[in-house]
A and B are shown apart, each in its own frame.
Chain A
Amino acid sequence: MIEESNLTSRDTYDLMATITDTLTSNRLQRQVLDRAVIRFAGDSGDGMQITGSQFTATTALFGNDLATFPDYPAEIRAPAGTLPGVSGFQIQFSSSDVYTPGDSVDVLIAMNPAALKMNVKDLRTNGLLIVNSDSFAQGDLNKAHMTSNPLEDHSLDGFRLFAVPLEKLTHAALEGLGLDAKSMNRCKNFFALGMCYWLYNRPMEHTYAWLDDKFRTKPLLAEANKLAMKAGYSYCEATEAFQVQYEIPPAKLAPGVYRNLSGNQALAMGFVVAAHKAGVPLFLGSYPITPASDILHELSGYKNFNVLTFQAEDEIAAVTSAIGASYTGALALTTTSGPGMALKTEAMGLAIAVELPLVICDIQRGGPSTGLPTKTEQADLLQAMYGRNSEAPIPVLAASTPGDCFWVAVEASRIALKYMIPVIVLSDGYLANGAEPWKIPDVNQIPEFHVRFVKDPEGFQPYKRDPETLARPWAIPGTPGLEHRVGGLEKQDVTGNVNYEPLNHEKMVRLRAAKVEAITQDVPDVVPAGDPDGDLLIVAWGSTYGSITAALKTARAKGSRIGHVHLRHLNPLPRNLGELLKRYKKVLVPEMNMGQLVMILRAKYLVDAEGYNKIQGQPFKVSELEGKIAEVLG
């Protein structure tokens, strides 16, 4: 129960620290904790994402469960030291289950005044604050619009402040290497990383190896960063200021082999596996867009896996090239974010009309228009469901965690190929960039779904359907005797000939809808987490999974009967959802949008579901959900 209460309030943190083992040496205390949240914050050029990733990799190898939240600006390098240039990386790691990167921060590393200003509000009371005191000159303060120096004005008195001259100390450590001042400065993030490794008693070997590999051709820089990191580690050990070192023992994860995985990596690998299971090449047509580009990068490196990647001239060419590839017999994929999704809508209609398999991944970000390119949101659900001209239904799936992205990729591909239909996969910036330990599945346990191309011209008709799935045959060019024409014009069922007759059109519209509905036979009934009936059902989708799971635990601990259904299949919805909604007195639908799933649920099931909406480009905090649940329960 300690773990659960710990999730709700950081105030219990200190209490917990005292009730866990406290080891005392001469001056040094060693506290065993269940979990910790660290945030590295600095200028875009300070290497905060690298620092955070290294801490994450080491922590994962150490065996903690973890969740990360990289939060960086859309500008590659805003002017140094300014508020818009602040980049952050947060990690929560624990000896028990981790569902989110954490609400409040235990340790904040702030490399300059701007980073301090933007992040200190999330640091818990009495939290550890490490500040690079070398960047608090008047000019630095001005850039952050600070009128007084926070290191001197007592505004940080509520925290355990360590003003560390990171630059001077790094320079001292690297003296004699022959590096210029600028290059030495660039190592200061590794000094800070070394401090964190000391604080949490982590080995540095993994980062040594990583540095050796990264700077293969520049061994001097590898050496410099290692020295800086060691210096940071030794600094903590030697300085009496740091009196506590923390232990966070490995988590008791299910047995198996694990790796660290981000949502975009998981999608890329999921599609490679899916194409393998289907026995066809994988084709990706894509145009670079944040936060989806990593999928293109990943898949472009997998050429020996029968993967074809095409960086198209625009979003429309990305999707239409994929349609061409699908027509030719590949598992075709296109990846994008909201603005690109908008550009692809006409082509999605074509894929629906010609009934070809296709997977469209929308890694959602804040909008409308260009919006918040690097921030997360879930506001493309209605676009995915309805954002096309005329009656153009499309199956929609959503991933709930970074690791789940892998399974959703496999499932979306299977549906697309089985039903000869385009499928939309919704992920978001939070899942795309966030990472978690992922238990590597045995690929042999994933069922094959080999596709069958039609070969026999005898009785072939391009729109003759499978009675069970309503799928039309996949007749690829190059097959003798199967020459036929398809296109975006309305067609006669069975023959596929162009046909404008009124009753035929209605028949085809209904058939395309029935095809989507037929997929319900492959959608498992949802089983709520928590209570199977009672006071409140939380219905949600996508990346809110972690926060809701954490909030559910604490809310149920208070005695209410609460269930949580997290929908992977958003279209078609699971068959038992309507019945399930009636088993609870109230239904709450938290979403990072203005209320899109709740609109669908209310319309489809006539249920008085209530929305809980956050549109800040940031994921839900567990405490926010706890507050809302308490309010709804009254």
Chain B
Amino acid sequence: MTPTMTVLTKKDFQTDQEVRWCPGCGDYAILSAVQAVFPELGIPREKFVVVSGIGCSSRFPYYMNTFGFHTIHGRAPAVATGIKITNPELEVWIATGDGDSLSIGGNHTIHMLRRNVGVKVLMFNNKIYGLTKGQYSPTSEFGKKTKSTPFGSDTRPFNPIALALGAEATFVARSVDVFQQHLKDTLKKAAAHKGSAYVEILQNCNIFNDGAWVGVTEKENRSEHVVQLEHGKPLVFGKNRDKGIRLNGLDLEVVQLGNGIAERDLLIHDAEYRNPVYAFLLAKMEELPGFPTPIGVFRSWNDIAQYEDTIAAQVKDVTAKRGPGDISKLLRSGDTWEVR
């Protein structure tokens, strides 16, 4: 079968199904960005498989005119792993959320990442359970009041980036639903990555957790609160790009540029840096007072084998050594005897 050679457009990836997210939901922006990016990847449409679990985000496959599989809560990484092992040629994307990926599906998430299955994960983080109408999630802030925590959340939240890094993910990035250009650029980088690409997308739930990321998204102060991670460039932020982040021993510090401090003194971002401490420092930065929230690619390790390729190589290797299996011989393997 020759691959489809026609040039695809955003429209080719839209389905006839009525989109059923709440008006104003951040998911619309993410859907729009994905539908815009897919045609640019030069991959035939039939090669795309969008897999999801359960939750608002997981309705995603119904709206993508590709192969799509809306599975069960938390299990999308395992289903996707089965798909990739069986056919490594497919372009598999997972749509998931903070509850689906980090709570019920936490085990599958970390194991998919450590295996480096060639799957792209879009993790919509709105810090709330939306589809079940407003319970706290594994990323909800400590003390947050929700339906299930009327007196405030009693647990520390997960930092999804740190979790993915800790699971030895080879590509970890963050973008924001409303930063359309940044989101598209990040998705393209994820698509180009060989291996698991984990993308946290900060997403607003205007019904149950409105303003979830207002500190990041608010136009007025956005540049004061966000620092873009760009490979090979210094960590600079601020309205006037007059602040930077510098390494001080094993800690980070925010410094004012000028007065003898130049961009060359700042931390120069290296997404390929192998010491895991580095990406962790970046991941934990937002939890420190006075620090901005980093977006962009935290880590991109490009020399680690994809899981499905290792499996395929082993099959090829064993077949080369032993020859293609003969089922007649298989049944007669071991000790046999003849009764006449």
B327 at the interface (CB under 8 A from A): yes
Among residues 283 to 340 in chain B, which have CB atoms less than 8 Å away from a CB atom of chain A? 311, 314-315, 318-319, 321-325, 327-328, 330-340
Q: How many positions in chain B have a CB within 8 Å of any CB in the partner chain? A: 64
- Indicate if the CB atoms of A443 and B331 lie closer than 8 Å: yes
- Which residues from chain B contact A324 at a C-beta distance below 8 Å? 51, 69, 78-84, 86
Quick check: A303 and B314 within 8 Å, CB to CB?
yes
In the complex, how many angstroms separate the beta carbon of A190 from the nearest chain B beta carbon? 19
Interface of A is mostly: mixed
In the complex, which residue of chain B has the Cβ closest to the Cβ of A488?
Answer: B72
Q: Is A215 an interface residue (CB 8 A)?
A: no
Residue contact B335 to A61, C-beta cutoff 8 Å: yes
Complexed CA–CA distance, A488 and B319 (Å): 37
Knowing A206-B335, A310-B85, A323-B71, say if A303 contacts B315 (CB, 8 Å): yes
Which B residues between 97 and 113 are near A, CB-CB below 8 angstroms?
107-108, 111
A322 within 8 A of B: yes
Within residues 239 to 256 of chain A, which ones have a CB less than 8 A from any CB in chain B? Answer: 250, 253-256
Residues of A within 8 A of B39 (CB): none
How far apart are the CA atoms of A222 and B263 in the complex, in Å?
Answer: 71
Q: List 20 A-B contacts (CB under 8 A).
A: A257-B337, A260-B334, A273-B330, A303-B315, A308-B86, A317-B108, A326-B82, A329-B86, A346-B72, A440-B332, A441-B331, A476-B87, A477-B46, A477-B90, A480-B3, A485-B15, A485-B62, A487-B68, A497-B17, A498-B17
Task: Please indicate the chain B residues that have their CB under 8 angstroms from the CB of A291 in the complex.
Answer: none
B86, A304: Cβ atoms closer than 8 Å: no
Apart from A477-B46, A478-B47, what are 7 other A-B pairs with CB-CB below 8 Å?
A257-B339, A285-B78, A313-B108, A323-B71, A327-B79, A480-B4, A483-B65
Instruction: Establish whether residues B331 and A269, one from each chain, have CB atoms under 8 Å apart when the complex forms.
Output: yes
CB-CB under 8 A from B4, the residues of chain A are 480
Which chain B residues (30-52) contact chain A, with CB distance < 8 Å? 44-49, 51
For window 412-452 of chain A, which residues contact chain B by CB distance below 8 Å?
A: 440-441, 443-444
- The one of B51, B86, B107, B333 that contacts A317, using a Cβ cutoff of 8 Å: B107
Q: Which of A260, A346, A477, A498 is in CB contact (< 8 Å) with B83?
A: A477
Least Cβ–Cβ distance between B132 and chain A, in angstroms: 15
Nearest chain-A residue to B338 (Cβ)? A257
* Residue B89 CB within 8 A of the other chain: yes
Taking CB atoms, residues of chain B closer than 8 Å to A255 are 339-340
A328 with B87: CB separation less than 8 A: yes
**B324 closest partner in A (C-beta):** A304
The docked-state distance in angstroms from the alpha carbon of A179 to that of B87 is 53
Residues of B within 8 A of A (CB): 1, 3-4, 15, 17, 44-49, 51, 54, 61-62, 64-72, 75, 77-87, 89-90, 107-108, 111, 311, 314-315, 318-319, 321-325, 327-328, 330-340
Residues of A bordering B, CB below 8 Å: 57, 60-61, 63, 206, 250, 253-260, 269, 272-273, 276, 281, 283, 285, 302-308, 310, 312-314, 316-317, 320-330, 332, 346-347, 349-350, 354, 440-441, 443-444, 476-489, 497-498
Which A residue's beta carbon lies closest to that of B16?
A497
Nearest CB in chain B: distance from A454 CB, A: 13
- B318 near A303: Cβ-Cβ < 8 Å: yes
A304 and B319 in contact, given A273-B327, A283-B86, A320-B72 (Cβ under 8 angstroms): yes
How long is the Cα–Cα vector from A63 to B315 in the complex, in angstroms? Answer: 37
Min CB distance A311 to B, Å, is 11
Q: Top 7 A-B pairs ranked by shortest CB distance?
A: A324-B82, A487-B70, A305-B325, A321-B82, A317-B78, A485-B68, A324-B79
Give the contacting residue for A487; candidates B62, B322, B328; CB below 8 A.
Answer: B62
B324: A residues at CB distance < 8 A: 304-305
Q: Whose C-beta in chain A lies nearest to the C-beta of B44?
A: A480
What separation, in Å, do the CA atoms of A57 and B335 have in the docked complex? Answer: 8
Docked-complex contact B83 and A327, CB < 8 angstroms: yes
Say yes or no: A304 contacts B315, CB within 8 Å. Answer: yes
Contact A258 B65 (CB under 8 A): no
Bound-state Cα–Cα, A60 to B69, Å: 50
Which residues does chain B contribute within 8 Å of A321, judged by CB atoms? 78-79, 81-82, 85
A60 touches B335 (CB 8 A): yes
A480 touches B46 (CB 8 A): yes
Is there contact, CB below 8 Å, between B331 and A317?
no
Contacts of A483 in B (CB 8 A): 45-46, 48, 65-68
- Known A-B contacts A304-B322, A308-B315, A485-B69; A259 and B82 likewise in contact (beta carbons under 8 Å): no
Tell me if B46 and A481 are in contact (CB < 8 A): yes
Compute how far the CA of A302 lies from the CA of B325 in the bound complex, rounded to whole angstroms.
8
A302-B330, A441-B331 known; A272-B325 Cβ under 8 A? yes
A477-B49, A485-B61 known; A306-B325 Cβ under 8 A: yes
The residue among B80, B82, B311, B314 with the most chain A CB atoms within 10 A of its own CB is B82
Q: Do B78 and A488 touch across chains, with their CB atoms under 8 A apart?
A: no
**Which residues of A are found within 8 Å of B49, using beta-carbon distances?**
477
The residue in chain B whose Cβ has the minimal distance to the Cβ of A266 is B331
CA gap between A304 and B49 in the complex, in Å = 28
Interface centre among B15, B49, B83, by most chain A C-beta atoms within 10 angstroms, is B83
Question: Is the pair A325, B82 in contact by a Cβ cutoff of 8 Å?
Answer: yes
Given A317-B107, A321-B82, A329-B86, A272-B339 contact (CB < 8 Å): no
Q: Are B327 and A322 in contact (CB under 8 A)?
A: no
Please judge, given known A-B contacts A259-B336, A272-B327, A272-B330, whether A330 and B86 are in contact too, CB under 8 Å: yes
Determine the residue in chain A with the shortest Cβ distance to B15.
A485
State whether A257 touches B15 (Cβ < 8 A). no
Residues of A within 8 A of B85 (CB): 283, 308, 310, 321, 325
Are B70's CB and A488's CB within 8 A? yes
Whole-angstrom CA separation of A349 from B3 in the bound complex: 34
Q: For B87, what are the chain A residues with a Cβ–Cβ distance below 8 Å?
A: 328-329, 476-478
Which residue of B has the minimal Cβ distance to A270? B331
Instruction: Give CA–CA (A283, B69) in the complex, Å.
Output: 19
Is A258's CB under 8 angstroms from B61's CB? no
Among candidates A276, A323, A485, A497, residue contacting B79 with C-beta atoms closer than 8 Å = A323
**B325 surroundings in chain A (CB, below 8 A):** 272, 302, 304-307
> Once the chains bind, are A276 and B327 in contact (CB under 8 Å)?
yes
CB-CB nearest in chain B for A349: B72
The complex places the Cα of A305 from the Cα of B315 at a distance, in Å, of: 9
Most buried by B among A302, A326, A327: A327
A57–B87 alpha-carbon span in the complex (Å): 41
Residue contact A313 to B107, C-beta cutoff 8 Å = yes
Q: Is the CB of B80 within 8 A of A258?
A: no
> Whole-angstrom distance from the CB of A543 to the nearest CB of chain B?
22
- Contacting residues, chain B, for A476 (C-beta < 8 A): 87
